[in-house]
């Protein structure tokens, strides 16, 4: 027995040189990858396969720096798929024996479990177009080829690996990139293709190194075709994957009183949307994500109907957004208790349609309703759109079962309207729920409500109406008056209003005060505002010739002191102030709103004795006045 490889591996192990943990192969002609990444398993399923198939325990921290080569990795994958193939065939054979059915001449296994024992011959024609949302094909390497290369094929485009998770399109002048998981279970396009040319593989497989094997574990179909062909009597039951040890993402179920039954699968959060024919449909709770997950009646097999358009939320966000975890049996009991879980497809009690101006609408019992607001638990409030004014409102449940609850008057009080032309453009319940989910998030962000269906922390579960129904929108209270902030900078009064700063210019005998904008660059601003005795806005003359921005509070910028409008009115009434320029020259003006009725020049007025806008009095013994 040749012990040279083992001796070299054992001798170099103490210097932490890289070698395979299973075969002790050095990284000369093999690509190595670590089992652990920062103390956590890089691929937990791989460790389970090694323990179950090879009976070798890989633990931390003993194997902190251990790695596995690509040859051992592909051998494990092939053996794992071969074992699943044998178990699947055994289940079919036993089922045929029980049913006493004749054995077929040849057993055609599923394409997912098909493992070629020998390299297949080159195909005579080009490969067919990818039918799913994505399909990753991993090209196994040939140990004799140097250097070692890997490729991924997604929808006909060939990608080469640039880093551990970064793959670059090989089409010239195309910078499309893919973000691929370490275990090649999922891929996400980072950028769009710059060209429509596709580099398809032809019969000459020598262009790419080695043979390829499929690594897709889920059946991906199109959402539109599913909605057209979703017949529970014709569609076969999803296979139960308990008898076959196929790696699946971990699934956890939660039951919340406000939002109902939810599920976390593969770090994505889903909410129960519909139960029909023994199957359940789950909708991703991320904003504007249209991924729908279908599960069988036992909640053991799942398949996605579209692709996620976002990264999975963080673990901390998932922990805070989910509560009251229940077991799989508890979730199955909840689904069994649903009224639609009787083998029949649940027909909605309402019809969704799309109007040109108002968006999604609802028709129920011949009456049309418009969206008015949202409540906790995914409920929405709808108001009748009768042009004469109708107070009937409907509360629609957040699931596709479309349960209706009357929320306003018991009867409409008007005849049923004629069907409008926009009713022809009907919308399926699934699309309507997806669009309402995105509109709900936008309305919550605009109104300041903190319950957002994005996997983020829920700060408030019990909500009130976000928006007043359309039938009573004209009864809303007028908007509050704009806010005015008054400041005192030494002896000068200042005002901040609508992104501009003003100084006191005139004060009339009637109690009105005129304030001028302080902007003088590049040219003087002509805006003047007039306030009454109560410091309320009376008129706003001219328009600003500069850009109005949000001003920094004067208390932090100029060490000014903020005062109330009542203080300003009292000081102006007691002192009858003048403009700042005339004040410096010792001129006191009294303005009646139209013209200056009196101008007085102050003689021998010191800074301590002169009259100020902010309350200092002028001593009669230290000055004399001359009326002009």
* Residue list, annotated binding site for Zn(2+): 20, 23, 69, 72
Q: What angle do CA 337, 318, 302 make, to 5 degrees?
A: 50
User: From the centroid of its chain, how far is CA 401?
Assistant: 25
SS3 call for 547: coil
- Distance from C-alpha of 34 to C-alpha of 42, rounded to nearest angstrom: 7
Tokens standing for residue 100: 């006493």
Tokens standing for residue 590: 């009294």
Please enumerate in sequence order all residues whose Cβ is within 8 A of that of 338, keeping only pairs 6 or more positions apart, or say none.
275, 401
Which has the closest alpha carbon to 485: 562, 429, 378?
Answer: 562
- Distance from C-alpha of 412 to C-alpha of 122, rounded to nearest angstrom: 71
Tokens standing for residue 516: 């001028």
Please enumerate in sequence order all residues whose Cβ is within 8 A of that of 259, keeping only pairs 6 or more positions apart, or say none.
271, 376, 377, 378, 398
CA distances for 73 relative to 129, 170, 187, 251, angstroms: 28, 26, 20, 26
List binding-site positions.
20, 23, 69, 72
Tokens standing for residue 475: 């009864």
Q: How does DSSP assign 556-589, residue by residue?
A: HHS--EEE-HHHHHHHHHHH----HHHHHTTEEE
Instruction: Answer whether 135's CB lies under 8 Å from 148's CB.
Output: no
Which has the closest alpha carbon to 548: 517, 514, 576?
Answer: 517
Whether the CA torsion 396, 402, 403, 409 is positive or negative: it is: positive
Tokens standing for residue 609: 């004795």
């Amino acid at each position: 027995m040749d012990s040279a490889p083992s001796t070299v591996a054992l001798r170099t192990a103490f210097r932490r040189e890289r070698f395979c943990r299973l075969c002790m192969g050095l990284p000369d002609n093999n690509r190595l990858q670590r089992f652990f990444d920062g103390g956590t398993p890089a691929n937990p399923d791989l460790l389970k396969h090694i323990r179950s198939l090879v009976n070798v325990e890989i633990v931390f921290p003993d194997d902190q720096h251990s790695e596995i080569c690509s040859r051992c990795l592909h051998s494990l994958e092939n053996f794992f798929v071969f074992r699943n193939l044998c178990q699947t065939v055994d289940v079919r054979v036993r089922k045929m024996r029980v049913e006493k059915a004749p054995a077929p001449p040849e057993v055609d296994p599923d394409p997912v479990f098909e493992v070629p024992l020998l390299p297949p011959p080159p195909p005579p024609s080009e490969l067919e177009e990818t039918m799913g949302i994505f399909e990753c094909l991993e090209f196994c390497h040939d140990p004799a080829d140097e250097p070692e290369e890997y490729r991924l094929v997604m929808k006909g485009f060939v990608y080469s690996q640039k880093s551990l998770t970064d793959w670059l399109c090989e089409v010239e002048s195309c910078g499309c990139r893919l973000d691929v998981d370490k275990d090649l279970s999922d891929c996400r396009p980072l950028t769009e293709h710059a060209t429509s040319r596709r580099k398809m593989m032809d019969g000459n497989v020598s262009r790419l190194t080695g043979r390829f094997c499929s690594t897709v574990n889920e059946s991906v179909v199109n959402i539109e075709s599913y909605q057209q062909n979703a017949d529970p009597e014709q569609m076969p039951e999803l296979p139960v994957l308990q008898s076959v040890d196929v790696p699946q993402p971990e699934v956890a179920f939660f039951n919340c009183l406000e939002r109902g039954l939810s599920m976390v699968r593969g770090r994505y959060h889903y909410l129960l949307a519909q139960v029909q024919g023994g199957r359940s449909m789950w909708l991703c709770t991320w904003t504007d994500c249209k991924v729908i997950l279908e599960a069988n009646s036992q909640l053991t097999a799942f398949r996605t109907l579209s692709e996620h358009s976002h990264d999975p939320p963080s673990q901390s966000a998932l922990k805070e957004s989910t509560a009251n975890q229940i077991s799989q049996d508890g979730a199955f009991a909840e689904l069994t208790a649903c009224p639609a879980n009787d083998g029949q497809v649940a027909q909605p009690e309402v019809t969704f349609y799309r109007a040109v101006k108002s968006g999604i609408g609802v028709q129920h019992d011949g009456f049309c309703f418009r969206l008015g607001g949202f409540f906790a638990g995914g409920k929405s409030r709808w108001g009748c759109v009768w042009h004469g004014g109708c107070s009937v409102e409907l509360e629609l449940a957040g699931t596709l079962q479309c349960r209706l609850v009357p929320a306003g008057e018991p009867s409409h009080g008007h005849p049923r309207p004629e069907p409008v032309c926009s009713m022809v453009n009907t919308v399926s319940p699934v699309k309507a729920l997806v669009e309402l989910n995105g509109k709900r998030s936008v309305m919550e962000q605009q109104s300041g409500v903190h319950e957002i269906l994005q996997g983020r922390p829920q700060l408030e579960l019990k909500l009130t109406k976000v928006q007043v129904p359309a039938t009573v929108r004209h009864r809303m209270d007028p908007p509050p008056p704009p806010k005015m902030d008054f400041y005192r900078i030494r002896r000068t009064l200042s005002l901040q209003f609508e992104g501009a700063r003003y100084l006191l210019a005139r004060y009339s005998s009637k109690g009105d005060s005129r304030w001028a904008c302080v902007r003088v660059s590049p040219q003087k601003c002509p805006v003047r505002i007039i306030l009454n005795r109560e410091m309320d806005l009376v008129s706003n003359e001219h328009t600003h010739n500069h850009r109005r921005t949000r001003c920094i509070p004067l208390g932090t910028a100029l060490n000014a002191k903020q005062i109330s409008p009542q203080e300003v009115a009292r000081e102006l009434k007691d002192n009858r102030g003048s403009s700042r320029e005339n004040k410096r020259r010792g001129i006191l003006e009294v303005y009646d709103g139209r013209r200056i009725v009196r101008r007085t020049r102050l003689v021998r007025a010191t800074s301590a004795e002169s009259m100020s806008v902010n309350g200092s009095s002028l001593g009669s013994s230290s000055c004399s006045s001359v009326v002009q």
